[in-house]
A and B are shown apart, each in its own frame.
Chain A
């Protein structure tokens, strides 16, 4: 059974810092890996999707990497802003379903 772990569970940084969120998974037989953002009381918004054949994806200040063989992914956020404050979830896709980590709660202070 796939298990997804995210470290750290919570992170607090001052505005402007670059930061890295980590995700690890136990079964490397995945189709893709996704990073989502969840704001309090809201649904999930997809940020980046990395297919299993890819090594990284970039969108604006966000860069996600995937090392399938070691079961790891990182989400890099450059020049963090208070608006980045949210919970970030990593999810890996098997044949048909997503398995989620419990997320990293990020707080960026002005």
Chain B
């Protein structure tokens, strides 16, 4: 298996633009997680899905952030409009079973909002 795939790997955009991050989880995994990592706050969970259904989005910072999982093999995290404080590394992870199994992380998307 290729592991968790994220795209793009790097994104530079201007404030106010829409940003869409993409994730393909490991085949057969039924839980998917979106994290954000910054120097100040470390690694924070934004939202997670179980069987394509959003279970907990309490970590999503504000309404500018939205996430979807239209099928078991694809998820998006969208920021609209983007702001400089959104600059961070965004990770997607997947696991066989929420809470009990190892999470496998993608390589991350490094986002810079100017």
Contact = CB atoms under 8 A, between A and B. Distances in A.
Chain B, interface size: which category? 20 to 34
Given A43-B108, A96-B55, A31 B100 contact: yes
Interface of B: 4, 33, 42-45, 48, 50, 55-56, 91, 93, 98-108, 110
Contacts of B50: 96
Contacts of A24: none
Interface of A: 31-32, 34, 36, 41-46, 49, 89, 93-103
A31 B48 CA distance: 17
Contact of A46 (B44, B103, B107, B108): B103
Given A89-B43, A103-B42, A44 B105 contact: yes
A69 to B, nearest CB: 20
B77 to A, nearest CB: 15
B15 to A, nearest CB: 24
B40 to A, nearest CB: 10
Contact of A43 (B42, B44, B98, B105): B105
Nearest to A36: B105
B107 A42 contact: yes
Given A31-B100, A49-B102, A101 B45 contact: no
Contacts of B33: 97-98
B104 A46 contact: yes
A102 B91 CA distance: 15
**Which of B33, B48, B99: most chain A CB closer than 10 A?**
B99
